[in-house]
Structure 1
């Protein structure tokens, strides 16, 4: 039987043509392959042309004529439709393999800069998709870089890999708010009756976007954009989205939404602009405003609506987004008596700024009170699970009298969160981490894929999912997802910078790894210091390595005493574990068998 040629040479045994066509059918039939009809025609066309031996003819001109019915005067420089659609298909394929196609036998990709697809087996000789025996962690066939031994030093720095750390500077997050200002215990003598769930999340009134232009059609666009924004905002469980102010009546108290989202749509020729703003309803002050411009020649209106709505929802509702920053400042100035649960949510994310262990127990206690007061509040159970888990992954075991193993508690509370709301992405994020640290990596990745599918706009979900993918051995996909999440996250990103430091370390770029981990500056976090120790060992910077070792022995002595086990908990594959441990050995750390 004839075999398809594999572009890139990842496998010595390329897939058969029938196998590739079966895989193409799986992708096109899947609801998780998010592409319009013309995008599906695009993918089918380039795959079939390649299988027919006509890959050399896959140029923008021929694709424009065959798929997009452009006339012979088509000019790719003035009409970028093929290039844009190719980018959309690449993203659609990436999402498909993240969410639905993890167990598929064949991988189909379209490399950047070309339209010829590549085909390869998802696992060669039982090895994981992202790395074969002769490949490094990023699929580059080369000799694995070896850290220098402790007695040696490098003659000069390696060339920096700028693509991995030349990211836009993160927006500075407000200084850590005093945790005690968030906690509001029920006074003695007053019953702690279950509170209304409306009190635990901020309400956002999404007003119908206005039609500004009069050129015909924009009223439908305004309605469509409003509906899309409502749908994307509703994926975030930390806020409540409403479309009208509830009517008040005798004896009925209704909480007024504090925020209103307003927008106006203007269409002029082929250009569309959405002006949108978040308003504090009490005084009409504008908290945030932005505009989004799109070219309707490049994207059809449904794609514009979906894209813009996702960007608006991410800016407003993600952790550390506009709404959270506004409420954090307000609670710090005047703590309300009825926001205990939401205040705990904000305190959790404030603690996440620098992962200071001194604030860990206070956040844990607050979340315990919240779940006792609101036993059906899924998000509180999810955050409680994540806080329990920090005792394991960050060695925050401050209170040895605490009942129950932290990992068991993290798993139980994560399960409770998912049982209460299976569509809560934060709950599935917590379950992903609990499964991962329990050693059930496959279950963890499945939970992470489900969380990411529910709300890819949540940068905490996307970043943490990328973290787990990378550390399970899928370095290409995971590190790229982490990098993307960092670019979209307006809050503290040090945790993910440490993850990208490990990404750089695993591909042998120790100078980039050092830069990433120094940027993270999580001075309280043992994992931050452990990664620095391995990097310094790999670079031969023994004096710097000794300082990190001294810090770890003083602040996390159990970590180095059980270093092989601790590394194995985090890095799934033995080859990755050995590569990381080699850096520690080069730093002078004794690794027991």
Structure 2
């Protein structure tokens, strides 16, 4: 398709294209290049192209001091070259069919814009419609409003807004509008309905904050833009440390993004409700992945089969769906380690690894793809590869609490408490409404390092009736706490949901690479309540 240079485009068309580029896998982990591109495009749209000089960019984008000399310090020229290369990569891959092409010619920093056309120049309305089209749920984060008595915290508003946008963009199954777009929407006093109509977004995040003494209090509202209905309200607070204010901003924006974007959170619930509507294609993969994360390791056989079938339909329609491939890998890992006749079937684990490798192949910058590969490597006892994939996944998205909890479980199984507990604590901090399965690894840690009563107290915070692991862990803890009546009751409950537990428990522990001391203590508890464990 040919490209035609245009001298003018509606601002919202350029801003929407900028948002798409910044949210892409090529840019989402390149914050400095994203800032560079955003700055030059915003200056161009504002009619300030004359400011696009090496010196000004050095100060505004790279935080150089006033004595910065672009002739001796080449950072702007070097990063401009890197930005051009990154744009080329984007338009050769993810942006190959985009209607607007952003380019920065060599020898300068002013962006130029091209539109795709076939024989005739497209109208602005056609370009606008095409540039807004996305096959992912989309969200606009409006600038944080300052409701403090002393209103001189503009820097905090900017930091929280930019941080929330950046952290939401790490969730690769979301499309996030750029701050320049939402800043314009705010300054133009657009309501939610107008934002929806203008930018075709699914959700709008309205947020405010108040500084009181050394405390920052934020309130967020997530709005279904099509119906102008609030689907989530929440508040997140933090301590204002003047010596490390940027760390506080980063932490709070990470928590805000996690509350919104976790797959079984408000957007996930919306996706599951929307699966049977005309726009189902947009939500299908997100909805199935949401169901997977909602249950996590507590998936039963029926739910596992249903989710896997749904994800396979997604893959049939789009083989290159990285997140769907990753979710299928994780589902197959659940099959491999679940207390069924298929437990420890190596062929199932091999198929899981195949899907995980495809997920990484199709999007190596997807944290979920790296997560699925890490978990597959763990169960194959390829621990060096496991640790490397864990590091890559956490670099890509340090705010995904379920991923942190799953990695924490793996490290608990290996009895590597120094790695496990910070991950589990971090997961709990990011997700206060954590699912019950978060509690199990923490309870194991308490049983091994403190006492059984502390482990029982942890488990009872989020009961998981009819989940076999919940029952056999409580059985173990009650035996070690000397409460045999409660242990025998958990034995009955365990056999009701896993009648072959005596036969399968050893194989189940092997799939989990469970530390020998942990495994032997559980098996000892089994035998004390009359369960005959098959070796």
Task: State the TM-score, normalizing by the size of structure 2.
Answer: 0.63
Contact 1:445–1:468, Cα closer than 8 Å, also in 2 = no
Q: How many Å separate the matches in 2 of 1:290 and 1:540?
A: 42
Aligned to 1:379: 323
* 8 Å Cα contact 1:221/1:265 also seen in 2: no
The 1-side partners of 2:257 and 2:445 are apart by: 29
Aligned counterpart, 2:424: 482
The 1:474/1:350 distance shift into structure 2, 3 A limit, reads closer
Identify which range, 473-482 or 371-380, moves more after superposition.
Answer: 473-482
Q: Distance in 2 between matches of 1:547 and 1:423?
A: 47
Match of 2:171 among 229, 232, 236: 236
Match of 2:111 in 1: none
Q: Is the 8 A contact 1:360 1:396 kept in 2?
A: no
> What residue in structure 1 maps to residue 161 of structure 2?
226
Cα distance in structure 2, aligned partners of 1:345 and 1:357: 16
CA distance in 2, matches of 1:480, 1:211: 33
The corresponding residue for 1:405 is: 347
Q: Whole-Å Cα distance in 1 between the matches of residues 461 and 278 of structure 2? A: 33
Name the structure 1 match of 2:376: 434
Q: 1:119-268 residue pairs with structure 2 within 5 A?
A: 200-209=135-144, 218-243=153-178, 244=181, 256-264=200-208
Q: Identify the residue that residue 506 of structure 1 maps to in structure 2.
A: 448
Work out which of the residue numbers 317, 337, 340 in structure 1 matches 2:284.
340
Query: 1:366: how far off?
Result: 0.4
CA shift digits 1:496-544 (9 cap, x unpaired): 2222222222235222323434444333332223223323433444454
SS at structure 2 position matched to 1:405: helix
- SS of match in other structure, 1:287: strand
Cα distance, 1:589–1:508 mapped onto 2, change above 3 Å: farther
Q: Distance in 2 between matches of 1:435 and 1:238?
A: 24
Query: Is the CA contact 1:534–1:587 (under 8 Å) kept in the aligned structure 2?
Result: no
2:520 aligned with 1:585, yes or no? no
1:372-430 deviations in Å (ceiling 9; x for gaps): 2122221111111111111122235689xxx9932112111112112222222222222
Question: Structure 1 regions of 5+ residues with no counterpart?
Answer: 1-195, 247-252
SS in 1 for 2:139: strand
Could you tell me how far apart the structure 2 residues matched to 1:350 and 1:267 are? 34
Question: CA separation of 1:197/1:516 partners in 2, compared to 1, >3 Å: closer, same or farther?
Answer: farther
- Equivalent-residue separation in structure 2 for 1:476 and 1:313 (angstroms): 26
Q: What CA distance in whole angstroms lies between the structure 1 residues aligned with 2:148 and 2:465?
A: 53
- Quote the residue 1:308 is aligned against: 252
Which position in structure 2 is the counterpart of 1:319?
263
Mapped partners of 1:292, 1:496: distance in 2: 21
The match for 1:556 is 498
Alignment partner for residue 359 of structure 1, among 277, 295, 303?
303
Deviation digits for residues 322-361 of structure 1, max 9, x if unmatched?
A: 3334444x43896843332222223323454952322221
Q: Hey, what does 1:529 align to over in structure 2?
A: 471
The verdict on how the C-alpha distance between 1:443 and 1:307 changes in structure 2, with shifts beyond 3 A counting, is: same
Cα deviations by residue, 1:14-35 (Å, 9 ceiling, x for unpaired): xxxxxxxxxxxxxxxxxxxxxx
Q: Relative to 1, partners in 2 of residues 1:200 and 1:552: Cα closer, same or farther, differing over 3 Å?
A: farther
> Against the structure 1 CA distance between its residues 234 and 588, is the aligned structure 2 distance closer, same or farther, given a 3 Å change threshold?
same
CA contact (8 A) 1:537 1:585 kept: no
**By how many angstroms is 1:318 displaced?**
1.9
Q: Which residue in the other structure is 1:331 paired with?
A: 274
CA deviation after TM superposition for structure 1 residue 438, in Å? 1.7
Summarize the Cα distance change of 1:204–1:447 in structure 2 as closer, same or farther, 3 Å threshold: same
CA distance in 2, matches of 1:294, 1:447: 31
Figure out how many residues of one structure are paired with residues of the other and give that number. Answer: 390
Q: Is residue 456 of structure 1 aligned with residue 398 of structure 2?
A: yes
Mapped to 2, the partners of 1:269 and 1:542 lie a distance apart of 53
